[in-house]
């Protein structure tokens, strides 16, 4: 089966083929680092990770870009309040984002561009839009003229007449030709300068709007046309609609060939989780309540298909933790087992069917929950075969291969990064040597180095032991 993905643009599942053979260019909207990411955000970020992993499993090289929005009205307000610069204000939240991603075992993207580091690219794009009359200056702000882009609304399938008549898209207070025109650039106020949130541009001092970031940064790293653009469903309108308008008006090329959108996560009451609505939960909150980040990962990617809503609850997290435990226990049991003299042919056939079924489920618009369901059903049969001593050498290899197929997406079975234990043990031995030689500075450096990688050392009467720091313990 070939990989099929549901493209929001056409509303259908389509065979996926990148523009350049063997290489996928993917852009995904990242966090606004004004605060900690909430679990709803994390669901979208882990969805990106699933797409990325399955593309790699399918044999593609992936260039994945995920932006960090480090300029935004909320960031300006908070920095002003805290009497600091926006750069200082966002630092801990940007770091927390990377820590959360590591704790959740999201693979690293190839690029994490920050908006404030790509202002010249945004200024260039805005200049070109003004020059070709897709944009205009009003009272120091620059707006995109939606009337100049007839395809506006195609992604979200919205009615342009309705949009014009009523919906107020932006909350900007200044003079616009039409209520739905959106800001590309916002003029500076005197206090913006002090917090480092003001840049020079031919059309006046100011700062970029949110939407132009993604258009300018995706072009910088991936070119005019992306194979895949992904985001949470709440970004489809107006954010993604605006990205398309800006990029296609500026580049005269298709912006993104496939659009993928992941659904909301709702809180215990069934309401969409969002920061503006108040009650949001972070990974830190869940870890503090005793949940394992890997159970959170399992829940967010495997509990429901990415295009279905899912509700966060302690019960669902406990069920996910139990799934992780069962997978690990099976993997360990399999490793310990001495194979029987002969293989069980029925088991071999079933294992091969489940491997194929798992792959088909993933190829069918990333249906991980269905694939994982097949695997859990099969574990019952495999455990029974282990009980009966019917697992032969080829059976064992095939079951191992099945687990490794599954863990290519789930990544919850392996205990630690490969080679990590050996490296930590080596550093512990080095530290012991340093201490014996009374080189305490060096011993402390090794401990600090390990801590920065999320490893804590504990001296006990049996020697030095190490453990992973929980996210809340990292500082």
Nearest to 138 by CA among 113, 106, 170: 170
What distance in Å separates the CA atoms of residue 326 and residue 228, rounded to the nearest whole number?
34
Min dist CB 218 to Zn ion, Å, is 8
Query: 67 with 213: CB under 8 angstroms?
Result: yes
Give me 224's structure tokens: 């005019």
Query: 27 with 222: CB under 8 angstroms?
Result: yes
Closer residue to Zn ion (CB): 233 or 446: 233
Closer residue to Zn ion (CB): 29 or 228: 29
In this structure, what DSSP letter does residue 390 have? -
Q: Which stretch binds Zn ion (CB under 5 A): 140-148, 213-221, 336-344, 404-412?
A: 213-221
Closer residue to Zn ion (CB): 58 or 225: 225
Min dist CB 473 to Zn ion, Å, is 32
Binding mask 17-56 for Zn ion (x = CB under 5 A): ------------x---------------------------
Q: Which stretch binds Zn ion (CB under 5 A): 16-24, 53-61, 176-184, 210-218?
A: 210-218
Closer residue to Zn ion (CB): 29 or 410: 29
Binding mask 162-201 for Zn ion (x = CB under 5 A): ----------------------------------------
Q: Which stretch binds Zn ion (CB under 5 A): 81-89, 208-216, 257-265, 417-425?
A: 208-216
Phi, psi (rounded to 5 degrees) for 159 = -85, 115
Min dist CB 65 to Zn ion, Å, is 10
Query: 177 with 133: CB under 8 angstroms?
Result: no
List of residues 6+ apart from 126 with CB closer than 8 A? 135, 142, 184, 185, 201, 203, 208, 212
Min dist CB 211 to Zn ion, Å, is 7
Q: Does 68 bind Zn ion (CB under 5 A)?
A: no
Closer residue to Zn ion (CB): 69 or 395: 69
Closer residue to Zn ion (CB): 138 or 236: 236
Min dist CB 64 to Zn ion, Å, is 14
Phi, psi (rounded to 5 degrees) for 32 = -95, 115
Closer residue to Zn ion (CB): 29 or 304: 29
Q: Does 222 bind Zn ion (CB under 5 A)?
A: no
Give me 13's structure tokens: 């599942």
> How many other β-carbons are positioned within 10 Å of the β-carbon of residue 416?
10
Min dist CB 236 to Zn ion, Å, is 11
Q: Determine how β-strand 23-28 pairs with β-strand 226-232.
A: parallel
Q: Which stretch binds Zn ion (CB under 5 A): 71-79, 209-217, 268-276, 358-366?
A: 209-217
How many DSSP H helices and E strands does the chain contain?
A: 16, 14
The residue count for binding Zn ion (CB under 5 A) is 2
Distances (CA, A) of 440 to 436, 449, 452: 9, 14, 18
Rounded to 5°, angle at Cα 390 from 388 and 395:
140
Closer residue to Zn ion (CB): 111 or 470: 111
Min dist CB 210 to Zn ion, Å, is 8
Q: What is the DSSP string of 177-201?
A: SSTT-EEEEEEPPHHHHHTT--B--
What distance in Å separates the CA atoms of residue 395 and residue 385, rounded to the nearest whole number?
10
Q: Does 214 bind Zn ion (CB under 5 A)?
A: yes
Min dist CB 144 to Zn ion, Å, is 15
Phi, psi (rounded to 5 degrees) for 34 = -95, -10
Closer residue to Zn ion (CB): 112 or 466: 112
Applying CB under 5 A, the residues found at the interface with Zn ion are 29, 214
């Amino acid at each position: 089966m070939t990989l099929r993905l549901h493209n929001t643009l056409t509303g259908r599942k389509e065979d996926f083929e990148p523009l350049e053979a063997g290489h996928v260019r993917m852009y995904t909207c990242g966090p606004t680092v004004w605060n900690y990411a909430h679990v709803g955000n994390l669901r979208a970020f882990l969805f990106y990770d699933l797409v990325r992993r399955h593309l790699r499993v399918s044999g593609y090289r992936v260039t994945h870009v995920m932006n960090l929005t480090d300029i935004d009205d909320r960031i300006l307000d908070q920095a002003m309040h805290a009497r600091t610069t926006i750069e200082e204000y966002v630092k801990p939240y940007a770091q927390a984002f990377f820590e959360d991603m590591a704790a959740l075992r999201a693979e690293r993207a190839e690029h994490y561009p920050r908006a404030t580091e790509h202002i010249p690219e945004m200024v260039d794009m805005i200049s070109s839009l003004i020059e070709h009359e897709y944009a205009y200056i009003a009272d120091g702000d620059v707006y995109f003229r939606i009337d100049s882009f007839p395809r506006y609304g195609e992604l979200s399938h919205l009615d342009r007449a309705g949009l014009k008549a009523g919906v107020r898209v932006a909350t900007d207070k200044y003079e616009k030709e039409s209520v739905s025109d959106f800001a590309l650039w916002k003029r500076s106020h005197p206090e913006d300068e002090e917090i480092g949130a003001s840049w020079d541009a031919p059309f006046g001092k100011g700062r970029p709007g949110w939407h132009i970031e993604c258009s300018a940064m995706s072009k910088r790293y991936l070119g005019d046309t992306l194979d895949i653009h992904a985001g949470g469903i709440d970004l489809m309108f107006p954010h993604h609609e605006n990205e398309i308008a800006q990029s296609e008006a500026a580049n005269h090329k298709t912006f993104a060939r496939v659009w993928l959108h992941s659904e909301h996560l709702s809180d215990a009451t069934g309401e969409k989780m969002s920061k503006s609505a108040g009650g949001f939960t972070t990974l830190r909150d869940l870890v503090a309540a005793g949940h394992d980040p890997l159970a959170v990962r399992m829940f967010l990617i495997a509990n429901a298909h990415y295009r279905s809503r899912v509700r966060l609850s302690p019960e669902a997290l406990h069920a996910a933790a139990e799934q992780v435990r069962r997978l690990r226990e099976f993997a360990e049991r399999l490793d310990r087992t001495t194979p029987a003299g002969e293989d069980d042919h029925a088991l071999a056939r079933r294992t091969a069917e489940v491997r194929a079924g798992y792959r088909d489920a993933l190829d069918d618009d990333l249906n991980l929950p269905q694939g994982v369901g097949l695997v859990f059903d099969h574990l019952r049969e495999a455990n029974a075969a282990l009980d009966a001593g019917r697992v032969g050498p080829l059976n064992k290899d095939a079951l191992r291969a099945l687990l490794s197929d599954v863990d290519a997406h789930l990544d919850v079975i392996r205990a630690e990064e490969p080679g990590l234990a050996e490296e930590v043990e080596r550093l512990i031995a080095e530290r012991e040597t340093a201490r014996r030689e009374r080189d305490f500075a060096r011993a402390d450096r090794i401990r600090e180095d390990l801590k920065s990688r999320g490893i804590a050392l504990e001296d006990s009467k049996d020697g030095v032991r190490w453990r992973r720091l929980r996210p809340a313990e990292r500082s």
